Chains A and B, each alone.
Chain A
Amino acid sequence: MSRFLHPGLVIGSLLVLAVLGAAIFAPLIAPFDPAQQDLLAPLAPAAWQHGGSLAHLFGTDTLGRDVLSRVIYASRAAVLVAVLAAAGAGLIGSLLALAAGYLGGWVDRLVRCAVDVWLAFPPVVLSLLLIAGLGAGVVKVVLAIALVDWVRFCDELLGGVSAAAQSERTAAARLLGFSHLRTVMLDVLPAVLPLMASLFVFEMGAAVAVAAVLSFLGFGLGAHQITWGQMIAVGRLAVFEAPWNLLAPVVAIIATVAGCNMAGGGLRRALDVGRRRA
């Protein structure tokens, strides 16, 4: 198991787990109700700044709400979008890759062509276009990300799927009487599963970043949902009075995305994706 003790994987997993924990146990961890206003103490500075107090670690926002509590609660939206969007993108991308790689022929050419077209667009711009058409809401944001990022899965998985599909063990499975579906499930899918797992973790990070951009621009999850992007949008206005209104969600986003990337990269190495033991 020592191959899983790579520093990147350990640190990344700890970060991801921390965010996950914050999301699940938000009511227990957060010192305040994130919606509780204290109009007498707006824009309080962070605890270590002049005039700050330990009651509000990162200070308060324009309406006197506790920034720390809001950052913690906003992780719920981030995790929800990250998991759903990564699952959606993974599902679409993997199905298309499996179909293209296993069936080959014109299906393969069609999918590869779609991948090339999709890759030609800057992903965030494509998501923006989509969300502009779809409107706000959790499902819409997840769709806007999944319909763009499936291509990451598809592109990376295609090679592994076609190698597995053309291997002798797949031919043997067919000759032994397995149906196409069972052959794919037993001999093709397991070969790319480790790669899929690492791509999933990567994609969660990407989804967090894109979701933040979308909600920063106002295409959020809905007015009552607290998100990091929306906090940045609001905190930006008071950046000189109370910089931690802006910095706290920024740090949260960076930590989450970096954590996902480190964990995904570490997973990739640990599972030896793409390399085989001699």
Chain B
Amino acid sequence: MSLLMIRDLTVTAPTGQRGDADRVRVLRGISLSLDRGMVLGVVGESGAGKSLLGRVIAGQLPPGFAMAAGRVDFSRRNILALTPGARRAMLGREIAFIPQDPRAALNPVRTIFSQLREHFAHLGLPRHQHRARAIEVLADVQLPDPADLLGRFPHQLSAGMCQRVLIAMAFASRPLLLVADEPAAALDAAAQRQTLELIAAQRRRAGTAVLFITHDLRRVAGFCDRLAVLYAGAVVEEGAAAAVMSRPLHPYTRALELATPSLATRRGLVVLPGHQPGLAALGRASGCRFAPRCPVRSAGCAEREIPLIGDDRRVACQYPERTSRIAPAPPPPPYRVGSGEVLLQVDGLGRRLRAGGVLRGRVTAVLEDVSFKLREGEFLGIVGESGSGKSTLARLIVGLDRPTTGRIALAGADVTKGDGAARRIRLANLQMVFPDPDSALNPRRRIGSIVAQALEAARRPAVEREAVAADLMRAMGLDPALVARLPGQLSRGQRQRVSIARALAARPRLLVADDVVSGLDVSTQAQLLALLARLRASGIALVFISHDLAVVRHLCDRVIVMQQGRIVEAGETERVFTDPQAEHTRALLAAAPPDIGPPATTLLAIPPPAG
């Protein structure tokens, strides 16, 4: 018998529309099993219900959510039937959790040691052994100088170090099962990789089985024994990881794979229409939930619900044989470099910040001697780890910050000083899209009013503003009826498109996009990338800042690699990715998640779907 058996698990939630009576199934008949010492990856986009799985096991469903059916057995005990006391004794000891946000999981006002002690006390470890054991578990996760670390507070540690402390805590009891919910999502590429490798090493030592919940197929592929793909609250495909990756049977899995940019080659991305149904839409949906977006659906797909069929390899599709017919998108247009007039020129740009007090303050250079040129219609990618100065550079270009040294020229005019004249030149030529649409969009403004903000600033009449807003909404693939909504009523991907539409309303010649696709699901990201790629036709130039190398390779003509405020490598995308010169570029490429699926060459041989 398996270590963890989930059978016919169904969780319902209120839609919030007609009081408590109107409930939808956010998890539908989930059946999964996990053997001792194995790793099961649960992959799904946000809203698929994957995090609910972990919460069911922890007995912490969000308010309003309820178990409607099913059982969860953990080493032959139905954990849903346990008394709260018995469950508490089991959690943290036999079942450990690693949370998504390491900083939120640690108490900011208590030292690392005091939090470890609390956990050790829960495990029943005698007090006098606490210090030795604490040093031991911290050393296990390769934290430097563990004895010194014990007296520190979480804010004195980096996010990656906090995550290691939590990993150490999770494995302190040598648990039978670890539930890891996006344990690396908040970290940058190198730290992500380290975190995953650490979990892998620790679980091998302790013989722990892992339930790995993630949205990033690429990250977990090499790490899992089995994979389950979740869509709209149900498992659509499950099987051995290698088999699911190399030969997906469900159209959704295949589409996800084809929507993921590749690091090795530059390929087109399959863009699925629409998005995963939300709570309200789930209640109305019938039949196969993926049918409305499915590229190979038949008329009958929407009529009845498709069960998960199969034995070792299970799939919830009537026509799994059609999946392989989903063709990769045509390759994107070739890179465009060289021609056109110079739109933006940056010379020896530097920015120093004074940290600390007036007397004991230190001056640190966040940006040093950055120079590059950007021509009209060119897409320039800027990559680097967090803290490499990418965002500072963006803020300097758009004039939200002033450089300490160096010079910025936009459309042939010097805009370094940032005075009234510079502001007018910037207004006429450039716009910026911000990384976080939640912070960038005023939550109290209607979407239509946000999109037309540039025209409002220029005091254009309301009729014109409405017309422009409607046009841009359509151009961004958004329903123009959404103009009456508030940002909180839109999905994150939709909000990011609104943010882009707002910048385009000012008709810029240069768009600075700071980390606009991070944190988005693969299919949403593909939609957004397609949107940005379409901007090429209008001759707009783009500065695209990202830490996802594959995305930059897909979209940008030229690349700048930054490290600690300096440019370490710059060049045409193809050259930088195939023949990196700088040590740091090679390190970044090595830390990036590997591609998924079979090589693109074999995919091209598959004929396109008929009709």
- A and B are interacting partners: yes
Give A contacts to B, CB under 8 Å: 167-169, 171-178, 182, 186-187, 190-191, 277
- Contact present for B458 and A177 (CB under 8 Å): yes
Partner of A177, one of B435, B441, B506: B506
Known: A182-B457, A277-B488. A175 touches B442 (CB 8 A): no
- Contact present for A169 and B442 (CB under 8 Å): yes
**Which residue of A has the minimal Cβ distance to B427?**
A177
B353 → chain A closest CB, angstroms: 14
- 18 pairs of residues in contact across A and B, judged by CB atoms under 8 Å: A168-B434, A168-B435, A168-B436, A169-B441, A169-B442, A171-B400, A172-B432, A172-B453, A172-B499, A173-B453, A175-B398, A175-B400, A175-B427, A177-B454, A177-B457, A177-B506, A178-B453, A277-B488
B203 → chain A closest CB, angstroms: 31
Cα A190 to Cα B446 in complex, Å, equals 14
Known: A176-B431, A176-B453, A176-B506. A169 touches B400 (CB 8 A): no
B256 → chain A closest CB, angstroms: 26
> Given the complex, which residues of B lie within 8 Å of A277, measured CB to CB?
488
Cα A191 to Cα B456 in complex, Å, equals 19
> Given the complex, which residues of A lie within 8 Å of B430, measured CB to CB?
175
9 A-B pairs closest in CB distance: A177-B457, A168-B440, A168-B434, A168-B439, A176-B454, A178-B457, A167-B439, A177-B427, A169-B442
Which B residues, 418 to 442, have Cβ-Cβ distances below 8 Å to chain A? Answer: 426-427, 430-432, 434-436, 439-442
Cα A190 to Cα B449 in complex, Å, equals 15
Other A-B pairs, 10, CB within 8 Å; known A178-B456, A277-B488: A169-B440, A169-B441, A171-B400, A171-B434, A171-B440, A172-B440, A173-B457, A175-B426, A175-B427, A177-B427
A42 → chain B closest CB, angstroms: 59
Which B residues, 436 to 476, have Cβ-Cβ distances below 8 Å to chain A? Answer: 436, 439-442, 444, 453-454, 456-458
Cα A191 to Cα B399 in complex, Å, equals 24
- Contact present for B444 and A172 (CB under 8 Å): no
> Given the complex, which residues of A lie within 8 Å of B71, measured CB to CB?
none
Cα A244 to Cα B431 in complex, Å, equals 70
Instruction: Annotate B498-512 by CB proximity to A: 1 below 8 A, 0 otherwise.
Output: 010011001000000
A193 → chain B closest CB, angstroms: 9
* Interface residues on chain B, size class: 20 to 34
Cα A29 to Cα B44 in complex, Å, equals 67
Cα A186 to Cα B426 in complex, Å, equals 21
- Contact present for B400 and A190 (CB under 8 Å): no
> Given the complex, which residues of B lie within 8 Å of A191, measured CB to CB?
444
**Which residue of A has the minimal Cβ distance to B398?**
A175
> Given the complex, which residues of B lie within 8 Å of A168, measured CB to CB?
434-436, 439-440
> Given the complex, which residues of B lie within 8 Å of A190, measured CB to CB?
442, 444
**Which residue of A has the minimal Cβ distance to B428?**
A177
Cα A226 to Cα B439 in complex, Å, equals 51
Cα A113 to Cα B19 in complex, Å, equals 50
Main secondary structure on chain A at its contact with chain B?
helix
Partner of B442, one of A171, A177, A182, A187: A187
> Given the complex, which residues of A lie within 8 Å of B434, measured CB to CB?
168, 171-172
- Contact present for B439 and A175 (CB under 8 Å): no
Cα A172 to Cα B436 in complex, Å, equals 12
**Which residue of A has the minimal Cβ distance to B453?**
A176
- Contact present for A175 and B440 (CB under 8 Å): no
> Given the complex, which residues of A lie within 8 Å of B456, measured CB to CB?
178
> Given the complex, which residues of B lie within 8 Å of A173, measured CB to CB?
453, 457
**Which residue of A has the minimal Cβ distance to B440?**
A168
> Given the complex, which residues of A lie within 8 Å of B426, measured CB to CB?
175
> Given the complex, which residues of A lie within 8 Å of B488, measured CB to CB?
277
A258 → chain B closest CB, angstroms: 32
Residue from B399, B436, B442 whose CB has the most chain A CB atoms within 10 Å: B442
Cα A63 to Cα B506 in complex, Å, equals 75
Partner of A176, one of B399, B436, B441, B457: B457
> Given the complex, which residues of A lie within 8 Å of B458, measured CB to CB?
177
Residue from A177, A178, A190 whose CB has the most chain B CB atoms within 10 Å: A177
**Which residue of A has the minimal Cβ distance to B430?**
A175
**Which residue of A has the minimal Cβ distance to B508?**
A175
Cα A67 to Cα B399 in complex, Å, equals 67
> Given the complex, which residues of A lie within 8 Å of B457, measured CB to CB?
173, 176-178, 182
Known: A182-B457, A190-B444. A175 touches B436 (CB 8 A): no
A106 → chain B closest CB, angstroms: 12
Cα A138 to Cα B26 in complex, Å, equals 62
> Given the complex, which residues of B lie within 8 Å of A169, measured CB to CB?
439-442
Cα A167 to Cα B400 in complex, Å, equals 12
Residue from A171, A182, A190 whose CB has the most chain B CB atoms within 10 Å: A171
> Given the complex, which residues of B lie within 8 Å of A171, measured CB to CB?
400, 432, 434, 440
A161 → chain B closest CB, angstroms: 15
B485 → chain A closest CB, angstroms: 15
> Given the complex, which residues of B lie within 8 Å of A187, measured CB to CB?
442
Cα A177 to Cα B436 in complex, Å, equals 20
**Which residue of A has the minimal Cβ distance to B454?**
A176
**Which residue of B has the minimal Cβ distance to A171?**
B400
A144 → chain B closest CB, angstroms: 36
**Which residue of A has the minimal Cβ distance to B401?**
A171
**Which residue of A has the minimal Cβ distance to B506?**
A176
